[in-house]
């Protein structure tokens, strides 16, 4: 059994990943959460819980996991914490190959259009975006940081333009750095699809020190 710790396990992406990982029968999940009671209510008593703020976690808390997933999410005015948590996890495991660090990133860092501009530039033009644009901007900064990390076993994943509630896709489409669109011209990833895809990636790693992207086909 793979031992996997999930930071943000009660969030929308984290909870779907927790459920999919548990259902695989090959992964023992520990929810790394601030509110253990909430985690038990949402995820069931069969999920182990380590009740601790993400920034209070120590290397000793995490060293025995095979994989640590960063599904941490926060408010726009605190979104720099996404970069800070990535840096904290990386600092713990420099010059190691285990645990593997998995980061759920945003779509803003993907390229799009004939000129291959960053999608975050399009997001910024959305009405009202100034209230939350810091989130995709900091997710971009997080990826830029990770791309300079050469001595840690990490992988990142970005959803499509929309990351939303919905059923797991019967088929998915994979890519690397380009914003993807399905046959209907849509670009979205459901949390359930992300949970299933990451469960597969945890069990059978295909990507190393890089970001990939996946959408519902």
pLDDT at 68 over 90: yes
In the chain, where the domains are located = 2-216
Task: Return all residues near 91 (Cβ < 8 A) that are at least 6 apart.
Answer: none
- Mean pLDDT taken over the chain: 98
Q: What is the pTM of this model?
A: 0.96
pLDDT tens, position by position, 23-60: 999 999 999 999 999 999 999 988 999 999 999 999 99
Q: Band the pLDDT of 139: cuts 50, 70, 90.
A: very high
Q: Which CATH number fits domain 2-216: 3.40.50.720, 1.25.40.10, 3.40.630.10, 3.90.1720.10?
A: 3.40.50.720
């Amino acid at each position: 059994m793979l031992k996997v710790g999930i930071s943000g396990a009660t969030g929308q992406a984290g909870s779907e990943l927790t459920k999919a990982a548990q259902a695989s029968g090959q992964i023992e999940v520990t929810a790394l959460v601030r509110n253990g009671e909430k985690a038990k209510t949402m995820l069931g008593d069969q999920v182990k819980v380590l009740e601790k703020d993400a920034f209070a976690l120590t290397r000793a808390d995490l060293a025995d996991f095979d994989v640590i997933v960063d599904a941490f999410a926060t408010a726009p005015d605190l979104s720099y914490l996404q970069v800070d948590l990535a840096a904290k996890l990386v600092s713990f495991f420099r010059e190691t190959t285990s645990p593997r660090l998995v980061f759920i990133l945003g779509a803003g860092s993907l390229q799009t259009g004939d000129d291959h501009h960053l999608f975050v530039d399009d997001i910024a033009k959305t009405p009202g975006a100034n209230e939350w644009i810091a989130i995709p901007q900091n997710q971009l900064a997080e990826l830029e940081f990770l791309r300079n990390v050469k001595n840690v076993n990490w992988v990142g994943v970005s959803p499509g333009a929309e990351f939303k509630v919905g059923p797991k896709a019967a088929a998915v489409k994979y890519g690397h750095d380009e914003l993807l669109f399905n046959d209907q011209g849509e670009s979205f990833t459901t949390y359930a699809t992300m949970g299933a895809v990451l469960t597969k990636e945890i069990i059978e790693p295909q990507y190393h020190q890089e970001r990939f992207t996946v959408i519902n086909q």
